[in-house]
Amino acid sequence: MEVWNRVQTINRNRREKPARIYDGKFALTGVLKCPVCGAGMVMSRTVNKLKDGTKKKIDYYVCGNWKNKGTAVCNSNGTRVDIANKYVFKKIESLLNNPRIIKDIVENINNKEELDLEPLKKRLNNIDLEIKKLNDKIDKLFNALEEGIITNEEFKLRK
């Protein structure tokens, strides 16, 4: 019974999800793609013990397929987080400092907004036409009442 209880405790502990050590600081997770299989790159961490006994943590982006399914699917194809982030963010910065690219981005956004607004403009025009038709009917109804063509009771029913 003692062995049984210990085994059950071990199994319960194994079933619990491990604590996540990645708190969202790895902006390129899933954005970077594995050069071999195309899967999203995910964060992985190694801990190296230095000669003086201290530990040094190094973060890597590695192939998500390799991380989840092993070497039967792909290799790690890892790259250090600090190097990858620095490279990608420097490229983004250089793009954002280019006035021609900024102009193109603004034009693309404006064109997309215009395309998104087009169906709404058509719908608004249709609604405006319906309102105009209804206002014309109301005007005709008032005219019919004023000219004595219909009675007050008929007017109230039609209105």
Domain segments of the chain: what residues? 2-97, 105-158
Q: Is 87 helix (H, G, I), strand (E, B) or coil?
A: helix
Average pLDDT, the chain: 87
Q: Is the model's pLDDT at 117 over the cut of 90?
A: no
Taking the C-alpha atoms of residue 156 and residue 159, their distance in angstroms, rounded to an integer, is 5
Q: Is the model's pLDDT at 144 over the cut of 70?
A: yes
pLDDT at 130: 96
Which DSSP state fits 19?
Answer: P
Identity of residue 115: L
pLDDT at 36: 92
Q: Is 118 helix (H, G, I), strand (E, B) or coil?
A: helix
Taking the C-alpha atoms of residue 151 and residue 145, their distance in angstroms, rounded to an integer, is 6
Task: Give whole-number Cα distances, 95 to 70, 85, 99, 125, in Å.
Answer: 37, 15, 9, 40
pLDDT at 128: 95
Cα-trace Rg, the chain:
34
Q: Is the model's pLDDT at 28 over the cut of 80?
A: yes
Confidence of residue 135 (pLDDT cuts 50, 70, 90): very high
End-to-end CA distance of the chain: 85
Q: Is the model's pLDDT at 24 over the cut of 60?
A: no
Tens digits of residue pLDDT in 34-83? 999 999 999 888 898 888 989 999 999 999 999 889 889 898 899 999 99
Taking the C-alpha atoms of residue 108 and residue 115, their distance in angstroms, rounded to an integer, is 10
Q: Is the model's pLDDT at 136 over the cut of 90?
A: yes
Tokens, residue 6: 């210990």
CA 112 to chain centre: 18
pLDDT at 23: 52
Tokens, residue 9: 């405790």
Q: At a CB cut-off of 8 Å and minimum separation 6, what does 66 contact?
A: 34, 39, 73, 74, 75, 76, 77
Q: Is the model's pLDDT at 98 over the cut of 90?
A: no
Q: Do 69 and 45 form a contact (C-beta atoms < 8 A)?
A: no
